[in-house]
């Protein structure tokens, strides 16, 4: 009995001392985060990703409020069960300027009432993205446009509304600058209804995978201050439409024509855009040398040009020579499926003195002579990419003493180029990075010194101490050349786990 009382007494004494220590510790220490201003705390939250911000908001009520006040971007799963939660969510994040509502396929999404609720509770909304919201109709979009904030960017994809809803956005959103439409199912061919005209503040329009292209021509033509126009897989004959549109686009700077039904007649219309600087002509098999010639005569300020000839053979030296002679400000040239030879590359090197990036893909005529021509003529070149061309190690030798500004060479699917040839090019220039398919050459600064022995067999292996060689699957191979002294380079090959023996 006495032993039990003594044990209980000791327990009480320990608890009392623990409470005393806790009290003293609490009086002597203070929470420094409580002194941190809300502005600084919000700045810290802005540097975190979305999952970390969500975790921080659960720490205390103060962090919950500060994190909500600083949230500008909000992405929600726009299923039908989101509608009852919208008032509490949007009242918490009242400063949201960018909102994305995405609904998965074959899932009921939000309706018109929910979209109108978004417009009323987000007074500072600048950007709205709708994806897969098939329950939204034209009426809901018009009602939203009447009460939404100063909307500047509107993007939608895989939705069911049509011409009337889009016209409501264009009519009521006076600050709209960016419009992106993709896979709209509600664009029905009606001779009485068209999309547009656009407002004078629209600067960018992106149209992808749409039917009834003629319904969108007033939208483009009415945007007189348009800077960027992207057309990708927009069905219909665009030759006549481009003739109508380009008469009004005097300030167009960037144009993408990807997988369109367009010919040289359409390029003749594009030539009216005198301010054009960036052009993507991708998979347009009906365009040829004549179209490029007339294009070069009108668009002399081109800086960036991408051409995918689809191996049709309609684009070759004749068109490239015209471009090089007229477009002297060209800085980036990408040719895919275009059979070019030294005849046109000489003109490109002589006239385009600012050319910094050159890419040639799947060209049957670009060989060692053409590569040597590029090396000797393009002195400002910084980035060179060659894919699927008949070049060899002999052609790479021309790059060893030319192109003083060259910093990166990328070679893919060129059967005539070996690892030894790429290594020799790598070792000949200190700051050059050479990439050969999955084999990446290491810069000379990262290669450790080689210690040779008289008893060696002439071949030695080593592992480069680089970040890319830390993996257990990475293997290093040393390419050595005979001739009295060793010339070594290190190749890192990424191998799969199945071949790591």
* Judgement on whether residues 196 and 308 belong to the same structural domain of the protein: no
From the number of C-beta atoms within 10 Å of its C-beta (0-12, 13-18, 19+), residue 33 rates as exposed
The CATH number of residue 38's host domain is 1.20.1280.50
* Judgement on whether residues 346 and 442 belong to the same structural domain of the protein: no
Beta strands in 143-290 (DSSP E): 153-157, 178-182, 204-210, 228-234, 254-258, 278-282
Distance CA 283, CA 296 (A): 19
**Residues 6 or more apart in contact with residue 364 via CB below 8 angstroms:** 339, 389, 390
**Residues 6 or more apart in contact with residue 210 via CB below 8 angstroms:** 181, 182, 183, 184, 187, 216, 233, 234, 235
* Judgement on whether residues 280 and 352 belong to the same structural domain of the protein: yes
* Judgement on whether residues 106 and 174 belong to the same structural domain of the protein: yes
Asked, for residue 94, whether it belongs to a domain, the answer is yes
DSSP class of residue 469 equals: G
- Can you give the pLDDT of all 501 residues of the chain as single tens digits? 444 455 555 545 545 544 444 444 445 556 677 778 878 888 888 888 888 888 888 888 888 888 888 888 899 999 999 999 999 888 888 889 999 999 998 899 999 999 999 999 999 999 999 999 999 999 999 999 999 989 999 999 999 999 999 999 999 999 999 999 999 988 887 767 889 887 789 999 999 999 887 888 899 999 989 999 999 999 888 999 999 899 889 899 999 999 999 999 999 999 999 999 999 999 998 999 999 999 999 999 999 999 998 777 889 999 999 999 999 999 999 999 999 999 999 999 999 999 999 999 999 999 999 999 999 999 999 999 999 999 999 999 999 888 889 999 999 999 999 999 998 998 888 889 999 885 545 444 444 444 433 333 333 333 333 333 333 333 333 333 333 332 233 333 333 334 443
Distance CA 74, CA 71 (A): 7
Asked, for residue 380, whether it belongs to a domain, the answer is yes
Asked, for residue 6, whether it belongs to a domain, the answer is no
| Dihedrals phi, psi of 203, to nearest 5 degrees | -115, -15
Please count the other Cβ atoms lying within 10 Å of the Cβ belonging to residue 348: 23
From the number of C-beta atoms within 10 Å of its C-beta (0-12, 13-18, 19+), residue 498 rates as exposed
pLDDT in tens, 22-50: 444 445 556 677 778 878 888 888 888 88
Distance CA 79, CA 87 (A): 15
* Judgement on whether residues 331 and 448 belong to the same structural domain of the protein: no
Asked, for residue 426, whether it belongs to a domain, the answer is no
Cα–Cα–Cα angle for 120, 125, 127, rounded to 5 degrees: 130
Counted domains in the chain: 4
Whether the CB-CB separation of 419 and 439 falls below 8 Å is answered with yes
Distance CA 33, CA 67 (A): 14
Grouping H, G, I as helix, E, B as strand and the rest as coil, residue 487 is coil
Asked, for residue 10, whether it belongs to a domain, the answer is no
Pick the closest to residue 351 from 329, 383, 373 (CA basis): 329
Strands 73-77 vs 98-102: parallel, antiparallel or unpaired: parallel
pLDDT in tens, 354-404: 999 999 999 999 999 999 999 999 999 999 999 999 999 999 999 988 888
Grouping H, G, I as helix, E, B as strand and the rest as coil, residue 80 is helix
**Residue finishing a domain among 44, 71, 98:** 71
Domain holding 145, by residue range, is: 79-236
Distance CA 84, CA 113 (A): 11
* Judgement on whether residues 321 and 229 belong to the same structural domain of the protein: no
Pick the closest to residue 237 from 269, 271, 194, 202 (CA basis): 269
* Judgement on whether residues 372 and 443 belong to the same structural domain of the protein: no
DSSP 183-205: S-SB----TT----PPPTT--EE
Cα–Cα–Cα angle for 19, 24, 28, rounded to 5 degrees: 150
The CATH number of residue 327's host domain is 3.80.10.10
Contacts by residues 446-452 (CB-CB < 8 Å, ≥ 24 positions apart): 446/490, 447/488, 447/489, 447/490, 450/478, 450/486, 450/488, 452/486
Say what the pTM is: 0.78
Asked, for residue 37, whether it belongs to a domain, the answer is yes
Grouping H, G, I as helix, E, B as strand and the rest as coil, residue 58 is coil
* Judgement on whether residues 180 and 216 belong to the same structural domain of the protein: yes
* Judgement on whether residues 200 and 115 belong to the same structural domain of the protein: yes
* Judgement on whether residues 53 and 107 belong to the same structural domain of the protein: no
Distance CA 287, CA 264 (A): 5
Question: Could you give the dihedral angle defined by the CA atoms of residues 173, 179, 181 and 184, in that order, rounded to the nearest 10 degrees?
Answer: 10
Asked, for residue 200, whether it belongs to a domain, the answer is yes
* Judgement on whether residues 335 and 446 belong to the same structural domain of the protein: no
* Judgement on whether residues 292 and 389 belong to the same structural domain of the protein: yes
Asked, for residue 2, whether it belongs to a domain, the answer is no
Distance CA 143, CA 118 (A): 11
């Amino acid at each position: 009995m006495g032993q039990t009382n003594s044990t209980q007494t000791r327990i009480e004494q320990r608890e009392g001392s623990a409470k005393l220590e806790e009290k003293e510790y609490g009086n002597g220490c203070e929470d420094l985060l409580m002194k941190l201003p809300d502005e600084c705390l919000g700045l810290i939250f802005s540097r975190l990703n979305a999952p970390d911000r969500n975790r921080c908001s659960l720490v205390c009520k103060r962090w919950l409020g500060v994190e909500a006040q600083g949230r500008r971007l909000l992405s929600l799963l726009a299923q039908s069960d989101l509608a009852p939660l919208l008032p509490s969510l949007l009242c918490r994040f009242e400063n949201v300027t960018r909102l994305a509502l995405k609904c998965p396929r074959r899932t009921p999404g939000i309706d018109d009432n929910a979209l109108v609720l978004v417009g009323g509770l987000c007074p500072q909304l600048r950007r709205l993205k709708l994806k897969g919201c098939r329950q939204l109709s034209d009426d809901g979009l018009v009602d939203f446009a009447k009460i939404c904030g100063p909307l500047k960017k509107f993007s939608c994809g895989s939705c069911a509304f049509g011409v009337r809803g889009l016209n409501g956005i264009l009519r009521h959103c006076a600050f709209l600058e960016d419009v992106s439409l993709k896979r709209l199912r509600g664009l029905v061919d009606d001779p009485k209804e068209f999309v547009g005209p656009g407002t004078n503040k629209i600067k960018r329009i992106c149209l992808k995978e749409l039917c009834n292209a003629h319904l969108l021509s007033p939208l483009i033509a009415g945007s007189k201050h348009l800077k960027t126009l992207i057309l990708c897989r927009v069905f219909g004959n665009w030759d006549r439409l481009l003739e109508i549109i380009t008469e009004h686009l005097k300030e167009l700077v960037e144009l993408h024509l990807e997988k369109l039904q367009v010919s040289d007649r359409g390029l003749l219309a594009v030539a009216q855009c005198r301010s054009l600087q960036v052009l993507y002509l991708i998979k347009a098999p009906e365009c040829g040398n004549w179209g490029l010639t007339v294009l070069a005569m009108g668009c002399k300020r081109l800086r960036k040009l991408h051409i995918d000839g689809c191996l049709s053979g309609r684009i070759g030296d004749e068109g490239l020579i015209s471009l090089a002679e007229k477009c002297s400000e060209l800085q980036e040239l990408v040719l895919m499926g275009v059979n070019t030879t030294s005849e046109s590359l000489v003109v490109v090197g002589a006239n385009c003195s600012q050319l910094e990036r050159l890419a040639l893909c799947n060209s049957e005529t670009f060989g060692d002579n053409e590569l040597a021509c590029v090396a000797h003529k393009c002195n400002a070149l910084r980035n060179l990419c060659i894919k699927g061309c008949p070049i060899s190690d002999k052609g790479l030798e021309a790059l060893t003493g030319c192109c003083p500004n060259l910093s990166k060479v990328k070679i893919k699917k060129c059967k005539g180029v070996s690892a030894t040839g790429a290594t020799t090019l790598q070792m000949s220039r200190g700051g050059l990075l050479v990439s050969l398919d999955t084999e990446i050459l290491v810069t000379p600064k990262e290669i450790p010194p080689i210690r040779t022995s008289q008893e060696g067999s002439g071949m030695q292996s080593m592992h480069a101490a680089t970040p890319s060689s830390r993996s257990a699957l990475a293997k290093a191979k040393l390419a050595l050349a005979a001739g009295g002294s060793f010339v070594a380079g290190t190749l890192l090959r990424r191998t799969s786990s199945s071949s790591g023996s």
